[in-house]
Amino acid sequence: MSDPFTRMKLGPSRRQFLQVAAAAGGAAVLPASFGANEAAAQGAGDTLVIAAPATPQGLDIEFDVSLGSIDSLGALYEYMLGYEKVPDPDAPGVLREDTSVHADKPDGMALKGRLAESWEVSPDGRKATFKLREGVKSNWGNTFSSKDVKWTWDRKFNLKGQGLFQTAVLGLTSPDQIKVEGEHAISFNLEKPNPLLLKQQCNLANPIYDATKCAEVGGSADPWAVAFLKNDSAGFGPYRLAQLVRGQQAVFEARDDYWDTKPAMKRVIMREVPQSASRFSLLQGGAVDIAQFLQPRELEALKKQKNVAVDAVNSSYMIWLELNAKIKPFDNVDVRRAVNLALPRDEIIRTIYYGYADAQTAPMPYIYPMVDKSFFSYKYDVAKAKDLLAKAGFGKGVSTTLSYNAGDPTQEPIALLIQTSLRQIGIELTLEKLPAGVFYENVTKRAKPMIFYLDSPWTPDPGYSTYLYFNSKSYVNYSNYENTTVDQLITDGLATLDNNVRLEKYKQVQKTLMDEAPWGFLAYPKYTLARKANLKGYTYYTSNNLRFQDFSRG
Question: What would the pLDDT profile of 234-270 be if each residue is shown by its tens digit?
Answer: 999 999 999 999 999 999 999 999 999 999 999 999 9
- 39, pLDDT greater than 80: no
Angle in degrees, 0-180, between the axes of helices 462-470 and 499-516, rounded to the nearest 10 = 30
Higher pLDDT, 387 or 23: 387
- Cα 41-529-14 angle, rounded to 5 deg: 95
Three-state secondary structure call for residue 240:
strand
Q: d(Cα 405, Cα 451) in Å, to the nearest integer?
A: 9
Instruction: Give me the half-sphere count of Cα atoms (radius 13 Å) on the Cβ side of residue 267.
Output: 16
Question: Average pLDDT of 412-434?
Answer: 98
Q: How far is CA 155 from the centre of its chain?
A: 22
Tens-digit pLDDT profile for residues 525-543: 999 999 999 999 999 999 9
Segment among 72-81, 155-164, 312-321, 352-361 with least mean pLDDT: 155-164
Query: At 74, which amino acid appears?
Result: G
HEC per residue, 128-147: EEEEECCCCECCCCCECCHH
Segment among 188-192, 233-237, 472-476, 509-513 with least mean pLDDT: 472-476
Q: What pTM does this model have?
A: 0.90
Question: Average pLDDT of 185-191?
Answer: 97
What are the residues whose beta carbons fall under 8 Å from the beta carbon of 284, sequence distance 6 or more? 302, 305, 308
Q: Is 64 exposed, middle or buried (0-12, 13-18, 19+ CB in 10 A)?
A: buried
pLDDT recorded at residue 1: 39
Polymer length of the chain:
554
HEC per residue, 415-464: HHHHHHHHHCCCEEEEEEEECHHHHHHHHHHCCCCEEEEEECCCCCCHHH
**pLDDT band per the 50, 70, 90 thresholds, residue 407:** confident
Question: Average pLDDT of 432-437?
Answer: 92
Question: Average pLDDT of 197-221?
Answer: 97
Q: How far is CA 426 from the centre of its chain?
A: 36
Three-state secondary structure call for residue 9:
coil
Q: What percent of the chain has pLDDT over 90?
A: 85
What are the residues whose beta carbons fall under 8 Å from the beta carbon of 221, sequence distance 6 or more? none
**pLDDT band per the 50, 70, 90 thresholds, residue 37:** low
Q: d(Cα 422, Cα 399) in Å, to the nearest integer?
A: 10
When the pLDDT of each residue in the chain is averaged and rounded to a whole number, the result is 92
Sheet holding 527-532, edge to edge: 239-245, 249-254, 267-272, 47-52, 290-291, 527-532, 308-313
pLDDT recorded at residue 36: 45
Q: d(Cα 218, Cα 195) in Å, to the nearest integer?
A: 35
- 13, pLDDT greater than 90: no
Question: Average pLDDT of 16-32?
Answer: 39
State which H helix or E strand residue 253 sits in: strand 249-254
- 289, pLDDT greater than 70: yes
Question: Average pLDDT of 330-340?
Answer: 98
Query: At 441, which amino acid appears?
Result: E
pLDDT recorded at residue 32: 45
> 45: which DSSP letter?
T
Q: What percent of the chain has pLDDT over 70?
A: 92
**pLDDT band per the 50, 70, 90 thresholds, residue 14:** very low
Tens-digit pLDDT profile for residues 485-525: 999 999 999 999 999 999 999 999 999 999 999 999 999 99
- 41, pLDDT greater than 80: no
